[in-house]
Amino acid sequence: MTAPLLTIDDLVVDYRISRRVGFRALKGVSLQVGPGECVGLVGESGSGKSTLGKAVLGLATPTSGRITFDGEDITHARGARRRRLASDIQVVFQDPYGSLDPTMTVGEVLAEPLVVAGTSRAAARAAVAGLLEQVRLPGDSVHRYPGEFSGGQRQRIAIARALVRRPRLIVCDEPVSALDLTTQATILDLFLELQRETGVSYLFVSHDLGVVHRICHRVSVLYRGEIVESGPTAAVTRSPEHPYTQRLLLAAPVADPARQAERRAARLGLADPA
């Protein structure tokens, strides 16, 4: 079997609210992401899913447990070591409006990571042109500002920025939740196309099991900081075993208003998960 690219083992993350009061966001979470694989992490707001993504990115400090990337322990990587990891691990954030600098042109946004890494400006311009084509944006986008684009187009720019250093893993933190259903579908299709073209792996964080079903090979369901169900996405979405997973599945939006109403009634009829 192929060795995992990312391994999270018994991860615990605590947040300190005050000197005497703390909050445990993750309670011994374990999962793996293989090369070229998309693994979904699903849960409602407050479940701890974004905290896990931040821990992988070095933006949250684990209390205990271990994070391994390509065999290297990166649990507490900092400084130059963390900057080196930036070429291998990137992120696409939820908000396409807040994640891009409005004072920089798209060309500047995309070229900056390459120039900082020592790439010549001519080579950076050529790379940017290729990236725009890859995410299906016109070449003249380099001269325009993020505010001139729609939400879906801005998320394409954010995806291009994540790809610019040719990472091996992208943490996708609710990347389509701020978009309408039609735009969501086109962005998810883009994620799939890019994975086929580049072989990049995704840790895909979402509150929507319907979205995860469309893009992820496997899924782990997070509830109050603990994984309560995991497995192949098709199996989990077809026959969810945990009551919390069942509620999430019923909460996934559908285009048919009548079916949506039936789902809502069924969800309200479920007992709260233990």
Which residues on adjacent β-strands are paired with residue 9? 66
Q: Which helix (H) or strand (E) holds 251?
A: helix 243-251
What is the residue extent of each domain of the chain? 6-88+169-269, 101-166
Q: Look at residue 39 and give its three-state secondary structure.
A: strand
State residue 257's pLDDT score.
54
DSSP annotation of 137 reads -
Q: Which residues of the chain have pLDDT under 50?
A: 267
**Residue 186 dihedral angles phi and psi, to the nearest 5°:** -70, -35
Nearest CA to 154 among 109, 112, 121, 219?
109
What are the tens digits of pLDDT across the range 13-32?
999 888 777 899 999 999 99
State residue 21's pLDDT score.
76
Fold of 6-88+169-269: Rossmann fold (3.40.50)
Instruction: Let me know if 52 is exposed, middle or buried by CB neighbors in 10 A (0-12, 13-18, 19+).
Output: buried
